[in-house]
Amino acid sequence: MNWSRILFALPASFFLLFFASCKKDKQPDVPTSPRVGTSWTYQYKTFSASGTLSSTSSIRYRAVSEETLGGEKWLRIVDSVNNPVFFLKIRANGLSQYANNAAQLLCKDPAAVNDTYTSYNEGSDEDFTVTHINLQLDLPYFNAYVTRYTGQRAGNTDDILWYNKNLWLAKMEKYVLNTFTGVRHIDKRWELTEIQY
């Protein structure tokens, strides 16, 4: 055997064996949508009647089960003491919640700016308008591209929602009327800090 072949083959075999035996870093596939077992952790802020920050805490919502409501399966989302917060699912027209004994469109997807729809939310009908699509949202620990919706009752902003198909509700804001001043102000804000599938 030719010495030059041996000198070439020996190191080549060593490198081939070394690289073939190395562990490969394979990331798990990210689900396309939340499912049973998914948890959302939010930075939760409350605001005073003047709209200034009152408190900041962390809250966690979990998808604990699928329940059949109105003939469809819905994810049951609960808070830290297992109180139901939402029954949610993705339908052909976007993220829906089960409320008032029916499916209610919460976040229209696909959507275009200025799309409008009426949905039952938090006890009564609310008129939603798509205000932004593909908006980069700066969250406390990461960024996400979202669609932004403004919900109004009687022409007054009640809710602002930021939706992403993989995160669902990335950010939410609730507005209320200050009965002394007659001015609406932000009351609560939820900003997603972590999601675990």
Separation of first and last alpha carbons in the chain: 58
The predicted structure's pLDDT at residue 15: 41
Predicted confidence band of residue 23 (pLDDT cuts 50, 70, 90) = very low
Q: Residue 82: CB partners within 8 Å, gap ≥ 6?
A: 64
Q: Which of 122, 67, 131, 19 is nearest to 106 (CA)?
A: 122
Q: Indicate left, alpha or beta for 71 from its phi (over 0: left) and psi (-120 to 50: alpha).
A: left
Helix, strand, coil fractions of the chain, as percent rounded to 5? 10, 60, 30
Predicted confidence band of residue 52 (pLDDT cuts 50, 70, 90) = very high
Structure tokens at 127: 């008129």
Specify whether domain 33-196 bears CATH 2.60.40.
Answer: no
Q: Which residues are bridge partners to 185 per DSSP?
A: 176
On the question of pLDDT at 27 being above 60, the answer is: no
Sign of the CA dihedral running 175, 47, 188, 85: negative
Sign of the CA dihedral running 52, 53, 59, 63: positive
Backbone angles phi, psi at 52, to 5 degrees: -90, 155
Give CA–CA dist 165/97, Å, rounded: 14
Mean pLDDT for the stretch of residues 63-92: 97
pLDDT in tens, 99-125: 999 999 999 999 999 999 999 999 999
Q: Which amino acid belongs to residue 27?
A: Q
pLDDT in tens, 136-186: 999 998 899 999 999 999 999 999 999 999 999 999 999 999 888 888 999
Structure tokens at 92: 């052909």
115: which DSSP letter?
A: -
On the question of pLDDT at 44 being above 80, the answer is: yes
Answer for the pair 36, 66: CB distance below 8 angstroms, yes or no: yes
Stated pTM of the model: 0.83
Q: Which of 34, 144, 156 is nearest to 95 (CA)?
A: 34
